[in-house]
Amino acid sequence: MAGRNHLYIPGPTNVPNEILNAMHVPMEDHRSPIFPELLTPLLNDLKKIFRTEAGQAFVFPATGTAGWEIALTNCLNPGDKVLIYRFGQFSHLWAEMAKRLGFSVEIHQEPWGMGIPLDKLAARLQEDTQHEIKAVLATHNETATGVTSDIAGVRKALNACQHPALLFVDGVSSIASIEFRMDDWGVDGAISGSQKGFMLPAGGAFLAFSQKALQAIETSTYPRCFLDLKDQMNANKDGYTPYTPNLPLLYGLRKALDMLLAEGLDNVYARHHRLAEGTRKAVAAWGLSLCAQPGFESNTVSAIVVPEGKDAKTVISIAFSKYNISLGAGLSEVAGKVFRIGHVGDMNDVSMLGAIAGVEMALLDSGIDIKAGSGVAAALEYYRATAK
């Protein structure tokens, strides 16, 4: 098929040419005297993306999933109780990991399309007078359902009852895209990955931990080796890594950070909001609805519900085979019920109009009753009215 594949999934996202070029480097000695000139500024600038001055940033040659494990096994002890709300595939997987690692996992089920219920969380924390809960695991942006939760509200609930639990946040599909303020929100462990807002290939786990979390490492007895933060801290203080790093990814990260900081984080957040809002206006014009309930809509991914009797897999298949567009599939409980449009990373107004036009054609070809051009028109008018 002529032309390139158009990637509109919520990760991995499009890698800009500038980053691809930056990653095209010969191998070098990662124990050389000049290697700290690459790594140390990277770690310092990564803190700016997490919006932390007090915390410490880390880079692992791994994924966001490994980031979940790093937070759990470095800061907690075997059998510790953790609390998590399950409202999508990724909050589900984090809970399952915690169970498999031997933690006592208190899971609260919420409808898929909702986020963390702050009132219920506050009540549960208030009940925990013995402070048995050692960590709250909060999924900031649930990629499977296009839902964003209020992390500042989670911290407020913890502070209201002076609960000492650590706050770990999965920001894999939010950090570097959606507003995230580690220090202001009192986040103890922030977890992200390279393949979404950072506009890089998969393979990098980017994390930041508060001083409270780093102190907890000293009393953790959980066995660990490759994912040990102490090893990273000992090596990072001199500008090195405890094992062979992924050099191309580090050079790509250098360029990605330069691009994000040059745009300005507030501008990055605003751009993602505009792209998402235009997509949402298209969905409304089609007469369809989001999986996310009002107030929980994500600015990095929209999960769109197909009409009763229709299969979202058909829409995705036609979009790919006929129009060379990749859309996100529904996962687990929403498989076949939703398709997902990613509006994250290296995207602009015209990118999203292409996505919306392609989706319209796939919807029509799937026999879904929409008016041709309606979504494109709605998004186009919004983008024109809000362009600077």
Query: Tens of pLDDT along 287-335?
Result: 999 999 999 999 999 999 999 999 999 999 999 999 999 999 999 999 9
Contact 154, 116 (CB under 8 A): yes
For residue 36, what is the enclosing H or E element?
helix 36-50
Provide the mean pLDDT of the chain: 97
Mean pLDDT of 13-22: 98
Residue 75 has pLDDT above 80, yes or no: yes
Q: 17-262 is classed in which CATH architecture?
A: 3-Layer(aba) Sandwich (3.40)
Mark 152-185 as b/e (b = at least 16 C-beta within 10 Å). ebbbebbeeeebebbbbbbbbbbbbbbbbebeeb
pLDDT of residue 162: 98
The domains of the chain are located at 6-12+264-386, 17-262
**Spatial CA neighbour of 85 closest among 31, 53, 54, 125:** 125
pLDDT of residue 321: 96
pLDDT of residue 370: 98
The structure's pTM equals: 0.97
- Do the domains 17-262 and 6-12+264-386 match in fold? no
Q: What is the distance between the alpha carbons of residues 198 and 290, in angstroms, rounded to a whole number?
A: 25
For residue 340, what is the enclosing H or E element?
strand 338-342
Q: What is the distance between the alpha carbons of residues 377 and 360, in angstroms, rounded to a whole number?
A: 11
Residue 184 has pLDDT above 80, yes or no: yes
Query: Tens of pLDDT along 236-292?
Result: 999 999 999 999 999 999 999 999 999 999 999 999 999 999 999 999 999 999 999
CATH of 6-12+264-386, one of 2.40.50.100, 1.20.120.530, 3.40.50.2300, 3.90.1150.10: 3.90.1150.10
